[in-house]
Structure 1
Amino acid sequence: MFAKQGGKIGIVLHIYWYEPLRDIPVDRVAAQRALGFIAAWFMDPIMYGEYPPEMRQIVGLRLPAFSMEDKRKLANKLDFIGINHYSTLYAKDCLLSPCNYHDDLLKDTFTYGTGTKDGVLIGEPTAMPTFYVVPNSMEKTITYFKDRYNNTPMFITENGYAQPSGRNIEDMLNDTNRVEYMEGYLTSLVSAMRNGADVRGYFHWSLIDNFEWTYGYTISFGLVHVDRTTMQRTPKRSAKWFQHFLKNEALHHPQEWQQNIAHL
């Protein structure tokens, strides 16, 4: 007999939130369809033993069917949902008119994802392409999972701000844009929790500047700057803000915090 280890098993999904590009029914449906393909595609089989209707309407018989035994094995076999959320895009319907796709992820959804509407960005751009600052999307994303999956416990497993690297050390350490990003997204997260979302934890990406996949060291997500020559680590302004936040100082005294932030 094996001793019980008492751990929890879940799944982590990388989720963009989608807003309709135009305030018309087909774009509202396209936004939901995009979420169906990037979120419900994985979650619905686990929770309900079926692929999501948003997929079946498009993919149809190409999707395999689950047997009753499959459904029995799959149903609710997780303890939590992990959510990596950074940004939001607009969604445009492509069922009724052709689109020039630049995102293969959305091609099968007949949806076009873009960060621009009438020449205006959906939010402040960051050093990571398609990562825009849209704080209220955190609450919307959490609420989507809460409502669709019976408020299964959730963790924010990644969330953070992409900062360009290679600038002088003063600019890297004085990361006020990251502070504003964190304040906005965490405020949105708190709002979702106050409305009943069962969120058990939040993990910022990342503690230190590190090697970011194909972007390497050209962008930085860390709260702590790393000198690549000496390996010296220096907390950024955002690290000090997060310290205050975790002590409830930033949240409980926002006006005082805003006055004092320049002195950190």
Structure 2
Amino acid sequence: MAKKEMFEDGDVGQASAGAVSRTDFPPNFVFGVATSAYQVEGAASEGGRGPSIWDAFCRNKGKIVDESDGEVAVDQYHRYKEDIDLIAKLGFDAYRFSISWSRIFPDGLGANLNDEGITYYNNLINTLLEKGIQPYVTLYHWDLPQHLHDSMGGWLNKQIVEYFGTYAETCFANFGDRVKNWVTFNEPLQTAVNGYCYGIFAPGRSENPSTEPYLVAHHQLLAHAAAVSIYRKKYKDKQGGQIGLVLDCEWAEANSDKLEDKVAAARRLDFQLGWYLHPIYYGDYPEVMRERLGDQLPKFSDEEIEMLRNSVDFVGLNHYTSRFIAHAEDSPEEGHFYKAQMMARIAQWEGGESIGKKAASEWLYVVPWGIRKALNYIAHRYQNPPIYITESGMDDEENDTPPIHEMLDDKLRVTYFKSYLAEVAQAIEDGADVRGYFAWSLLDNFEWAQGYTKRFGLIYVDYKNGLSRHPKSSAYWFLRFLKGDEGEHSKKE
């Protein structure tokens, strides 16, 4: 098993325990905060917005821990100016948000454009730019228009590629004169696996776990390529922007020096990052996926391979945590997707000590060294692309018992950001082309299946008192960090 001592001789990077400052990063390095439409906007039935699969999913009893939904969320639709003021006051360069497809085309089909939706996002973008904040826009963050799911099976139907292309082009045409940074999909793996294998995310399907996740991923890749092709052919030269794809990766560290564990860790990474990046960089799914899944994995035509080839200007990485990976002939992990990987995910060192301090979510441990390894892996495996860390952060448990000032003093989150950013700085020194870091999340918000029981925000949202906003210690830490106030390193957080 993994020995902790092996990670204490510089392999992990001593930086994670020490100071980090703004000067450790290039001058043009982007620091931002991130959210997504369904998690923060609310106004689900206002402004001409059509229903999304998450609206429907939240009505299924037992799917959301606290039986909540995003109907109001944290009401950014009405409070975006207040939220943008907070971003500006904290000194961030950028705001990553997503556009709700059903706010643009209520039925998703592309025939009936919702002018109120266009106006809302124009106002949001213009207000950001007035404050000197760059918009980083995600086209798809899991909230498919419900009509597309009901009428044609959503991501299971290849025809959706065309509808996504129409939606993407509408966004480029309406917002691209001001938006210079586009993301096609956020964490397509989560949609494929949690939405169509385990059924714990919208649309809640688990009927065909050995085929549907791979079909969904295939269509998302083709939709990504279609959108990038439209952007590059018709908009990029005129608008001067860039477009990429955001993937999530829990770093996979071999649990021992045994070859089988090293191979299992490599296999795990191929099932996370390789699933999407291999087709883009190497023309097909990873060999190990083809071996393990056979005909369950769809095939690309020559034309599709050509369209996918190098279809990213940058790679977005959402990274929160890490695990040790051991080979397991009969994987203890539940479900087809994990069993196909023949591995066990382990959250303890050899001596039984936790891999890192635990956050509120059962899957999230504070493991700073993993982010450096993940960044270096992408750099070495995928031709050293420009990388933006598009999400990174940790959560606290919702608890309305203590006084608010105790909830605002989020010491572990401060430690998280300080130590993870130190490792990002090390990865840049190692040669990884990392260009930005976006903290998840700007605000406490609707955390999908966990509802409002988990708080990831730099800013506390008081759900009991009018959704008032209160910056936490971590927000003030970023304020000092971004201003270059290095004196704070000698203070106790």
Q: In the superposition, relative to structure 1, how do residues 26 and 175 fare at CA in structure 2: closer, same or farther (>3 Å)?
A: same
CA shift for structure 1 position 2:
5.8
Matched with 1:72 is 306
Residue 99 and residue 109 in structure 1: after superposition, are their counterparts in 2 closer, same or farther (change >3 A)?
A: closer
Alignment of 1:260 with 2:488, yes or no, is: no
Structure 1 residues 67 and 164: CA distance shift in structure 2, 3 A: same
Aligned partner of 2:248 among 14, 23, 26? 14
Q: What does residue 240 of structure 1 align with? A: 476
Q: Is the 8 A contact 1:37 1:109 kept in 2?
A: yes
Q: Deviations over 1:118-137 (max 9, x none)?
A: 53321111101111111011
Distance 1:84 1:111 in 2: 22
1:19 positional shift: 1.3
Kept in 2: contact 1:48–1:71 (CA 8 A): no
- Are the counterparts in 1 of residues 360 and 395 from structure 2 also a CA contact under 8 Å? yes
Residue of structure 2 equivalent to 1:37: 271
Higher-RCO chain (CA-CA 8 Å, sequence separation at least 6): 2
Aligned length: 255
Q: Output the CA distance in 1 between the equivalents of 2:474 and 2:292.
A: 43
2:411 match: 176
The 10-residue stretch of structure 1 (205-214 or 56-65) with the greater mean CA deviation from structure 2:
56-65
Asked if the contact 1:139–1:191 (Cα under 8 Å) also holds between the matched residues in 2, the reply is yes
Unmatched 5+ stretches in structure 1 = none
Answer whether contact 2:397 2:454 (CA < 8 A) is retained. yes
Distance 1:217 1:62 in 2: 36
Q: 1:239 to 1:74 in 2, by over 3 A?
A: same
CA distance in 2, matches of 1:170, 1:104: 44
Amino acid across the alignment from 1:123 = G
Alpha-carbon shift at residue 77 of structure 1 (Å): 1.3
Distance apart, 1:105 and its partner CA:
3.9
Q: 1:25 is matched with which residue?
A: 259
Structure 2 CA distance for aligned equivalents of residues 200 and 186 of structure 1? 12
String of CA shifts for 1:82-140, please: whole Å, max 9, x gaps: 11000001211123xx3322365422111121323453321111101111111011110
User: C-alpha offsets along residues 143-193 of structure 1, whole Å, 9 cap, x if unaligned?
Assistant: 111111111111111000111111421221110100000001000001111
Determine helix, strand or coil for the equivalent of 1:144. Answer: helix
Question: CA-to-partner distance for each residue in 1:235-263, whole Å, 9 max, x for gaps?
Answer: 111001011111233xxx3xx4233344x
> Structure 1's 74 and 201: CA in aligned 2 closer, same or farther, altered over 3 A?
same
User: What CA distance in whole angstroms lies between the structure 2 residues aligned with 1:44 and 1:211?
Assistant: 32
Q: Summarize the Cα distance change of 1:170–1:150 in structure 2 as closer, same or farther, 3 Å threshold.
A: same
Summarize the alignment of residues 96-111 of structure 1 with structure 2, pairs less than 5 Å apart. Answer: 98-102=330-334, 105-111=337-343
The separation in 2 between residues aligned to 1:233 and 1:217, in whole angstroms, is: 15
**Cα drift, residue 51 of structure 1:** 1.5
Task: Go from structure 1 to structure 2 and tell me whether the alpha carbon gap of 1:62 and 1:227 turns closer, same or farther (over 3 Å shift).
Answer: closer
Aligned-pair identity in percent equals 41
Per the normalisation by structure 2, the TM-score is: 0.49
Q: Is the 8 A contact 2:332 2:339 kept in 1?
A: no
Superposition map of 1:78-93 within 5 A: 78-93=312-327
Please tell me whether residue 202 in structure 1 is matched to residue 437 in structure 2: yes
Say which is worse superposed, 98-107 or 185-194, in terms of deviation. Answer: 98-107
Residue pair 2:410, 2:474 contacting (<8 A) in 1 also: yes
Q: Does the C-alpha gap of structure 1 residues 161 and 104 become closer, same or farther in structure 2, counting only changes over 3 Å? A: farther
Q: For residues 287 and 272 of structure 2, what CA distance do their matches in structure 1 show?
A: 13
What's the secondary structure of 2:249's corresponding residue? strand
In the alignment, structure 2 segments of 5+ residues that lack a partner are 1-232
2-side partners of 1:165 and 1:65: how far apart? 44
Q: Render the CA deviation track for 1:202-255: whole Å, top value 9, x for unaligned.
A: 110011111111111111111111111232211111001011111233xxx3xx
Aligned to 2:175: none
SS state at 1:121 partner: coil
SS in 2 for 1:120: coil
Tell whether the 8 Å contact from 2:331 to 2:338 is kept in structure 1 after alignment: no
| 2:285 match | 51
Q: Secondary structure at the match of 2:239?
A: coil
Check 1:2–1:16 CA distance in 2 against 1; reply closer, same or farther (3 A cut): closer
Say if 1:64 and 1:183 are closer, same or farther in 2 by CA, change over 3 A.
Answer: same
Considering fraction of residues, name the structure with more strand: 1
Q: Tell me the secondary structure at the aligned position of residue 152 of structure 1.
A: coil
Return the alpha-carbon distance in structure 2 between the equivalents of residues 88 and 40 of structure 1: 17
Amino acid across the alignment from 2:466: T
CA shift in 2, pair 1:63/1:8, >3 Å: same
Distance 1:59 1:117 in 2: 31
1:147 match: 380
What is the RMSD computed on CA atoms of the aligned residues? 2.0
